[in-house]
A and B are shown apart, each in its own frame.
Chain A
Amino acid sequence: QVQLQESGPGLVKPSQTLSLTCSVSGGSVSDNDYYWSWIRQPPGKGLVWVGYIFHSGVAYYNPSLKSRVDISVDTSKDHLSLRLSSVTAADTAVYYCARITVLESSGFFFPNYFESWGQGTLVTVSS
């Protein structure tokens, strides 16, 4: 059973960069059957997909965040990282990492469903 655990500062100042890590155990980020993703949830609001990455390093981002977000993966440590720059109060949220199953169709590979989630970590943007 894979387990994911988010970690990082709970408080970030406006205009600074938010940095989080997701540690994976009971599985490997190098597994070809999965993508790895970040999702966030502002307090009292719904889920927002941030982006996902394959172990090759190829990543896809939410267009509304693309200019500020970077997701990377470290296969030697079995963890993924999230960096979000120039943060404002609107970036205050619980940030989740999750594992996505891969769907194969006609020789192409696509993200399917979020199979496993971390517990989430609250990041507050405030001076």
Chain B
Amino acid sequence: SSELTQPPSVSVSPGQTASITCSGDYLGQKFASWYQQKSGRPPVLVMYEDDQRPSGVPERFSGSSSGDTVTLTISGTQPLDEADYYCQAWDNITGGVFGGGTKLTVL
């Protein structure tokens, strides 16, 4: 299957840790990346190659991979982290695949 599965929503209190998972049959053999999208704005890369943080992305963002699941973790979540988050990977047959997105609510 070429699908990437994310939970539709995750809620977290300010200062707590948020974890967003992304599962797919081939993720164990492929790199995944993560994108943050705030309302009305284009996506922004926040993690690549599973666990590499681009320059300028706060250290509270981290990534990990285990089996066919990758996880984006936000430690000490801040209200400004509230956004939609998408995972993405490349499938040999279907090409670029995005997860369905996870709405992170900080309340």
Contact = CB atoms under 8 A, between A and B. Distances in A.
A108 to B, nearest CB: 12
A112 B31 contact: yes
Contact of A62 (B43, B86, B95): B95
B44 interface: yes
Interface stretch (B13-21, B65-73, B74-82, B96-104): B96-104
Interface in B34-76: 35, 37, 42-45, 48-49, 54
A114 B88 contact: yes
Instruction: Find the residue from A37, A60, A114 having the highest chain B CB count within 10 A.
Output: A114
A111 B91 CA distance: 10
Interface residues of B, number: 23
Contact of A111 (B35, B90, B94): B90
Interface of A: 37, 39, 46-49, 51-52, 60-63, 96, 101, 103, 110-115, 117-120
21 contacts: A37-B96, A39-B96, A46-B98, A46-B100, A46-B101, A47-B43, A47-B88, A47-B101, A49-B88, A51-B95, A110-B90, A112-B48, A113-B33, A113-B48, A113-B49, A113-B88, A115-B54, A117-B42, A117-B43, A118-B42, A120-B42
